[in-house]
Amino acid sequence: MGVWIAPDGSTAFILENGVCSGMYYNNGTPLDIGGGMTCAYSGNTLVVMQPPNQISYKVHYTGDTMTITNGSMSITFTQG
């Protein structure tokens, strides 16, 4: 949960109610097709949905950074 700064300097966030923004990546590039984006976090898995797209990431926290990984793609955010 919280506000995060992506590697490109853009702001991403995840709210407790599941609303999120800036968390969907396609081949290492942010993807936002418009419309609502929601995130569900459980254990160390983050599922990001922006219909019709959905992606699952493994999440790892280290200090004030969060790294999301899907296959060979890895994005590290800094807490904002």
Q: How far apart are CA 3 and CA 26, in angstroms?
A: 20
Torsions phi, psi of 10, nearest 5? -75, 160
How high is the pLDDT of residue 13?
95
How high is the pLDDT of residue 64?
95
CA angle in degrees (0–180, nearest 5) for 64-16-34: 95
The model's pLDDT over 68-77, given as tens digits with 9 standing for 90+, comes to 999 999 999 9
- Pick the closest to residue 14 from 69, 73, 68 (CA basis): 68
User: Which residues in 49-68 are b (16+ Cβ under 10 Å) and which e?
Assistant: bbeeeebebeeeeeeeebeb
pTM of the full predicted structure?
Answer: 0.89
Q: How many separate domains does the chain show?
A: 1
How high is the pLDDT of residue 30?
86
The model's pLDDT over 8-63, given as tens digits with 9 standing for 90+, comes to 999 999 999 999 999 999 888 888 888 899 999 998 999 999 999 999 999 999 99
